[in-house]
Structures are given as structure tokens and as C-alpha cells.
Amino acid sequence: MWAVLQGFVSRMSMDPALARRLFTEGGVLIVEEMPVGTEIGIDCNSWRTAERFRGVKMIPTGLHYIYYSAVDRHGQTAPRTGFFCVMKKRQIIVKRWNRTTEDLDDVVKSEEEIERLRAGLKDIDKNLGAYPYESLKKWVGLTQHISQSVLESLEPVSKNICSRSQIESEETRSVRDEGTLTSECGSSLLPTAHASSSSSVQSDVTVQESQLRLSRVPDRKFPADATPEEVTRHSMDHSYALSCMMRDYYGNDIKNLLGELQFCFVCFLIGHVYSAFEQWKCLIHLLCSCDEAITTNPDLFMKLINTLHFQINEIPEDFFVDIVSRTNFLTTTLQMFFSTLEESTTVDSQLRKRGLQFRKHLTKKFKWDFTQPPDDCQPVIVDV
């Protein structure tokens, strides 16, 4: 194994019966001609390839994220590229390294060729790294709501998810959906390139095919015909905006919303895609700013707590601290959620109990303080 994947250390011995079942029923990723030292990973695990590397075996069925980065002779790592796949029982995926593009190309095999590969797996077994089964539970906790339909609606047309900044022409910027890749304040996350007329069409197509197709969080949180009183209420309680998103993007299915939340988190945490992080923050802020929806849809927020529990355990304590304000995005956002759970008289009792237990867990583990009001809620002392 050490000669195949550098830096891999198994944390636990696998049950022999489970190992045999995974070997016969698990999926296999075969990678041809990948250079030595290339970074490659699957789900929560990554390694550097050694000389005899041919791929990964014993991959459990279900959703997986495969990613890779070229490494130059000086050890510098290129931006990470990856793709999701839903592995079926005994499935074999074949990829070939393209030295020109430093990317993995699909290798189309006929059924007869796949059967020959399957019959000869024992011959290359020593060149295949085993999927670290002990990390599967963590991965499932991070992705359990990402269904096939959610994946197909969010992933780029090209299927490849790249961490490098995409350059966008002015023509593309003027016609694209304004909410596709924008930050919380509405500014674009993509730099502008002045494309020549001969290359603008090709550039536009490339950018469009590589974009994550994320939902749009409404800029206006109230109905078009809202009264001043309703504008104030909906600006404080974002339940109306949430209901619009549930209708327009998620088919009123909470699993689709939670699926996008998990998709964005994985794309950022593992795929290093910053726009996915911005979308994740927007969705968290929207959900934590709902008062009425917490009462009418307790199942959504119960599942949200469980989703956040897995996600927060994967990030450093100070990750969300803003360099300028020194405030933690999650503490200020979750504080609104916890306050609603405490103060509402109509919230489900089990949801309140679970939410306050979650707050206690975060306080104990990260020493996050949820007792102090956010800076914008603090009283202002004015000298007269």
C-alpha cells in the first residue's frame, strides 16, 4: 500500500468478512498514467501517488467526491479539480491522466472491456489503494441529503468542479443570472476579463459550463405589494423569503434545501470553491433568521441542527472569524436561531430541547459565547 499511495495510514483493521464483501461488491476507480506525486483524494481522504498507483478499490456504493491536483517538479500544487459520482455495486470507473491539460479524461469502455477489467482486478490489486472505510460514517454525515436529483441540479454542466478562479468576460457578466455566483452583499465573485471578439463566445461557454448552478437567495425579503408594516416584519423574519425559495428551487422538499447546504459545504471544504462557501453562509443566515418557519416547519430545523453538527465538527474553531471585526460568523448567526428557540412560545418542545443542547455542545467544545448580543444590537452611547 505504501508504494501505491504515500501518506496513507490505516487507523483501524477491517473485519475480514467486510473486506471480502467490499472487494467483490465495492466500486473501483482506475486511473491510467497519473504522474508520481500527484495529489488525489476521495471524500475525506487524500494522498500523493507513488510509482505503481493505478487507482482505488473497495469503494462503498453511494455518493463520492473524487478530486486531484497536479504537482510540479518543485512540489507546488495546482488548483484542485474534482467531480461527484454515485458509485454502484461492482462499478468500475476508468480515467486517464491528460498531461497537456493536467486533468482526468473519461475512458469509455464497452461492456466486454469492463468485464475483462473486472476479471483481471486481482492482477492489479497490489496497485490499488483501499478506500479508508473508517471514514465512511463521517462522509455520510456530511452528504446524506445530496440525492441524485439534487446533484444533477447543482453541479456544473461540465461535471468538473475547479477551485481556480474562473475568468468571466463582460458579455457573460451581462447575461448571466445575477444570483448565481454573488457574495452576501451582491457583488460578483468572478473577476472580469476583456475577451477579444474571436474568443468571447468560447470563453462564455467555458465559464457557463464550469459554474455551480446554485439557487438564488432573494434580495427582497418581502412581497411586491407589501405594506410598510409587512416590509418591516419580513425584513426581520425571513420566513417569507424561505418559503419563496422552497417553492421556486426545492419543490417544497426540505431534503433538497439541506442537500444544497451540504453540497456547498463539501464543495468548499474539500473542493476549495469559495463561491460555494458564500452560498453556504447565505443559506445558513437565511435559515437562522426565520421566526415563523421555525414554528411551522420544525422538521426542517431539527435536520438543520443535525447537518450543522457534522459540518462544524470538520472545521477549525477560528475559521469563521472575520479578520477586521474579529467576530465569528457562526456565533452571531446561530445566536439569532437560539434566541428564537428560547423566546418563542409556539416552537416545538423537542426542537427547542435539541437546539439548546446543540448550543451547549458548541459552547463546551469551541468556547463560543452566545450570551452577548451582536455588535449591531448593542446600545450606542452618544455624548451630548
> 213: helix, coil or strand?
coil
In this structure, the answer to whether residues 238 and 368 fall within a common structural domain is yes
**E-state strands within 286-363:** none
Chain CA centroid to CA 169, Å: 26
The answer to the question of residue 264 being in a domain is: yes
The answer to the question of residue 360 being in a domain is: yes
Indicate the residue among 136, 164, 197 that finishes a domain. Answer: 136
Backbone phi, psi, residue 353, to 5°: -60, -45
> 17: helix, coil or strand?
helix
> 230: helix, coil or strand?
helix
Q: Which helix (H) or strand (E) holds 174?
A: helix 170-175
In this structure, the answer to whether residues 355 and 261 fall within a common structural domain is yes
In this structure, the answer to whether residues 131 and 231 fall within a common structural domain is no
The answer to the question of residue 193 being in a domain is: no
Among 367, 382, 281, residue whose Cα is nearest residue 329: 281
In this structure, the answer to whether residues 233 and 362 fall within a common structural domain is yes
Indicate the residue among 112, 136, 160 that finishes a domain. Answer: 136
In this structure, the answer to whether residues 229 and 347 fall within a common structural domain is yes
Quote the pLDDT of residue 324.
54
* d(C-alpha 292, C-alpha 47), whole Å: 46
The answer to the question of residue 176 being in a domain is: no
In this structure, the answer to whether residues 357 and 224 fall within a common structural domain is yes
In this structure, the answer to whether residues 117 and 247 fall within a common structural domain is no
**E-state strands within 88-220:** 92-98, 103-106, 128-130, 161-162, 168-169, 192-193
Q: Note whether 216 and 260 are within 8 A (CB).
A: no
Count CB neighbours of 311 within 10 A: 19
**In sequence order, which residues have a C-beta less than 8 Å from that of residue 335 and are 6 or more positions away?**
370, 373, 374
Quote the pLDDT of residue 176.
36
In this structure, the answer to whether residues 81 and 225 fall within a common structural domain is no
Among 38, 89, 93, 90, residue whose Cα is nearest residue 65: 93
Burial status of residue 154 (CB atoms within 10 A of its CB: 0-12, 13-18, 19 or more)? buried
Q: Note whether 366 and 308 are within 8 A (CB).
A: no
C-alpha cell at 359: 448550543
Indicate the residue among 136, 155, 180 that finishes a domain. Answer: 136
In this structure, the answer to whether residues 106 and 255 fall within a common structural domain is no
Sign of CA dihedral 9, 14, 16, 20: negative
The answer to the question of residue 289 being in a domain is: yes
The answer to the question of residue 222 being in a domain is: yes
The tally of domains found in the chain comes to 2
Quote the pLDDT of residue 325.
53
Instruction: Per-residue pLDDT tens, the chain, 384 aa: give them.
Output: 434 555 443 444 678 888 888 888 999 999 999 999 999 999 999 999 999 999 999 999 999 999 999 998 888 899 999 999 999 999 999 999 999 999 999 999 999 999 999 999 989 999 999 999 999 999 999 999 999 999 999 999 999 999 875 444 344 334 334 433 333 333 333 333 333 444 444 445 566 788 999 999 988 889 888 899 989 999 999 999 999 999 999 999 999 999 999 999 999 999 999 999 999 999 999 999 999 999 999 999 999 999 999 999 998 766 766 655 556 888 899 999 999 999 999 999 999 999 999 999 999 988 888 877 655 454 444 454
Count CB neighbours of 319 within 10 A: 12
User: What is the biggest distance separating any 2 CA atoms in the chain, rounded to whole angstroms?
Assistant: 86
* d(C-alpha 2, C-alpha 25), whole Å: 24
* Amino acid letter, 299: D
Domain around 56: 5-136
Quote the pLDDT of residue 209.
82
In this structure, the answer to whether residues 259 and 356 fall within a common structural domain is yes
The answer to the question of residue 334 being in a domain is: yes
The CATH number that applies at residue 338 is 1.25.40.550
Quote the pLDDT of residue 204.
53
The answer to the question of residue 156 being in a domain is: no
In this structure, the answer to whether residues 354 and 228 fall within a common structural domain is yes
Question: What pairing do the DSSP bridges indicate for beta strands 27-32 and 92-98?
Answer: parallel
In this structure, the answer to whether residues 120 and 267 fall within a common structural domain is no
* d(C-alpha 182, C-alpha 215), whole Å: 11
The answer to whether the pTM exceeds 0.75 is yes
